[in-house]
A and B are shown apart, each in its own frame.
Chain A
Amino acid sequence: MLSRALIQQEIVPRFGADALKGLPDGATLPIPAGRAMVFTTDSFVVQPLEFPGGNIGDLAVHGTVNDLAACGAKPRWLSLALILEEGLPLTTLRRVLDSVKKAADDCGMAVVTGDTKVVARGQCDGMYVNTAGIGELIDGFELGAGRVAAGDHILVSGPLGDHGMAVMAVREGIRITHGVTSDTGPVHRLVEAVRGLAAGVKFMRDPTRGGLAAVLNEVVEGRGRGILVRETELPFSVGAQATAEMLGLDLLQVASEGRLVMICSASVSGEVLNAWRALPEGAGAVRIGEVTDSKGRVILETITGGRRLVDVPRGELLPRIC
């Protein structure tokens, strides 16, 4: 199917209002005067394209929304670039595009520009997607690992690792069927809900590739601070735990695609948790630990009370999960 026909039949009906009307080469955006804007991009190569709880389409929207949210920005505009393998079933493409539209609408984000390419059979494994997003920085947020100080609290918005386990469960060669459901979803409302507490929020990140272990190690690496988390406080769903148990995987290193990790001052953490728990996507929010003085290390206090290192995830732990 030629690009042109594809665009007319599939893209325009879903996204062809407003900025995309008439398919201009670029979107002209009304940037509010004096506002700082945040710009981010991500590419998605997940295999398989569809998995319990979502597909590459909503993953691509939520991924970019969440990067903007983690930067303290309100998501506004999205670009959507598709690279399609010749022979990709039209029904699959339609389901993915429907998911993109629904996810973007749910997030209050407009798809304002994009591109579609078709490549030969045998390339790009069905579909690759890139999204880039622009958001408006919310007043009061000044985020960065440099602001993190000993005594700060570490919060997560819900159970960890469901997305990675959901994708793994579908992969060929692993005989687990009807596994756990991906947690793919937007977290920007969690950020919006704490804008009044922004001064106490030091750092935010969505724990995708490499999971919580990657995020926490990134915060402490090369700095005079460390992190202590308590195993008894870590939230995991029953399904993700069972799947990880069967595969011998450590959920600390497994991606979530609809969760937020926050480091904030102790004085605001109670209010943050209350605000998060009032939202469905934050129902499982908990405090899992705090920032310490142990240089550059992330330590887990296990259920025995004994401590051990939470290492940076190494190697290709779980390929092609986002």
Chain B
Amino acid sequence: MKYIDGFRDPVAAAGVRAKLDALAAVLETRARAVNIMEVCGSHTMAIARYGIRDILPKSVNLISGPGCPVCVTPASYIDAAIALAERGAIVVSFGDMIAVPGSSTTLAECRARGGTVEVGYSPMRAVELAEAHPDREVVFLAIGFETTTAPVVMMLELAIRRGIKNLSLLTAFKLVPPALAALLSDPGIRIDAFLCPAHVSVIIGADAYKPFVNQWKVPCVVAGFEPLDILYGILGILKQVSHGEATVENQYSRVVTAKGNGIAQSLMAKYLEPVDAAWRGIGVIPLSGLGLRPEFGTYDAGLRHGVSMGAGDENPACACGEVLKGKQRPPACALFGAACTPDHPVGPCMVSSEGTCAAYFKYLR
């Protein structure tokens, strides 16, 4: 596979490993390990799937961050989606939302009880369904970071151009940079560097990480999701740490530019505005989400259908919040592997295809 296989070459991987080991030997003189937070759920999964923790030097510690949009969506959002399906709307969702527990049940169970819940690989599925069923309301579960927000908003623009009137979005878009700032401000978490997300960076641009370098002096390396990308990204971070540097290094320059995708950014600015957002397990982070601008209120499912997202109930024994902040590894949660497994998940970290607990259960148990 072009532009994939070359990033999975075992000999090159062995070479980067050798360089990591050599550099780590230099760093061993430090008092403590280097804590690298990998933010994006896709990085979490790739790191687990390629056994990368297994081969890292002891002086390097990889912490998983809250970059899994399904994992940080509060239970009350799922409750609202289920309520809409129960009221007769066609609810369209990405696949991994279907099994996430809300306060009491899941969208999959709602579907089994007769609710119309459709899974779409592309948000355009919502447009197809809205056109096919003009007599019914279609609600798209619009969750995701910047990578996903851009296609969803483009779908909305295309729907509006086609004169579709029976489609709305239940929004829970989240932004990565405010979350990074919140994590850096938390005295309980020590982050020495960020391995920055690949495809969020495609949208927002590598320059978006400059504030973290300037204000917090934290190295930021943007890396792709292939195993060589990740290993080389970690090497880049260690090089900066060993020189006492902190810069933004864009190692995914084959797709990420300094400024990002301007068309996507303009489109997002046209329809969306920053709003405070609730992150499951973390709490409200100011201006860390995106909501529809008031002039597009008719496409906001919450306004249109009068559903509000209150507190929602989460199991108090569920440690997803601590896991999402990188304070705890999944096996430290009392429910991990016992009451909480992929077959019967308690928290979203276990059921999302990018959840840290799901990655641990599947690859590292």
Contact = CB atoms under 8 A, between A and B. Distances in A.
Q: Do chains A and B touch in the complex (CB under 8 A)?
A: yes
Interface in A277-322: 300-309, 311, 314-315
A232 B8 CA distance: 10
Interface stretch (A6-14, A217-225, A240-248, A262-270): A240-248
Given A173-B121, A306-B52, A309-B365, A232 B343 contact: no
B4 interface: yes
B17 interface: yes
B54 A306 contact: yes
B53 interface: yes
A2 interface: no
Interface string B3-38: 010001110011001000000000000000000000
B98 to A, nearest CB: 11
State the majority secondary structure of interface residues on A: loop
B112 interface: no
B54 A308 contact: yes
A303 B343 contact: no
B353 interface: yes
A300 B49 CA distance: 9
A186 B9 CA distance: 34
B293 interface: no
Nearest to A250: B49
- Residue of B17, B51, B120 with highest tally of chain A CB at under 10 A: B51
Interface string B180-208: 00000000000000000000000000000
A304 B20 CA distance: 13
A174 interface: yes
B234 to A, nearest CB: 11
Contacts of A300: 51
Given A304-B51, A306-B50, A306-B55, A311 B121 contact: no
Interface string A164-177: 00000000011100
Nearest to B42: A248
Choose among A175, A245, A302, A304 the residue with the greatest number of B CB atoms under 10 Å from its CB: A304
Contacts of B233: none
B216 interface: no
Interface string B38-60: 00000000001111111100000
B136 interface: no
A304 B125 contact: no
A303 B10 contact: yes
B55 A303 contact: no
A232 B122 CA distance: 32
Contacts of A303: 8-10, 13, 50, 227
Interface in A82-129: none
Contacts of A304: 10, 13, 17, 50-52, 55, 227, 231
Majority secondary structure of chain B interface residues (helix, strand, loop or mixed): helix
B342 interface: yes
B1 interface: yes
A308 B51 contact: yes
B51 to A, nearest CB: 3
A154 B262 CA distance: 52
Nearest to B53: A306
A42 to B, nearest CB: 25
Contacts of B231: 304
B1 A232 contact: no
A250 to B, nearest CB: 8
Given A245-B1, A245-B4, A309 B13 contact: no
A241 B1 contact: yes
A309 B363 contact: yes
Given A173-B125, A174-B121, A315-B343, A305 B1 contact: no
Given A232-B10, A248-B353, A315-B342, A302 B1 contact: no
A106 B175 CA distance: 59
A309 B353 CA distance: 16
Contacts of B54: 305-308
Contacts of A307: 51, 54
A309 B362 contact: yes
A120 to B, nearest CB: 23
Interface string B328-365: 00000000000000110000000001000000011111
A228 to B, nearest CB: 12
A305 B343 contact: no
Give me the 10 closest cross-chain CB pairs, A-B, nearest first.
A306-B51, A306-B54, A308-B363, A308-B51, A306-B55, A303-B10, A304-B13, A302-B50, A302-B51, A307-B51
Given A248-B353, A305-B54, 18 more contacts: A175-B121, A242-B1, A245-B1, A302-B50, A302-B51, A303-B8, A304-B17, A304-B51, A304-B227, A305-B10, A305-B14, A305-B51, A306-B52, A306-B54, A307-B51, A308-B50, A308-B363, A309-B362
Interface of A: 173-175, 232, 238, 241-242, 245, 248, 300-309, 311, 314-315
Interface of B: 1, 4, 8-10, 13-14, 17, 48-55, 119-122, 125, 227, 231, 342-343, 353, 361-365
11 contacts: A173-B125, A300-B51, A303-B8, A303-B13, A304-B17, A304-B231, A306-B55, A308-B363, A309-B363, A311-B362, A315-B342
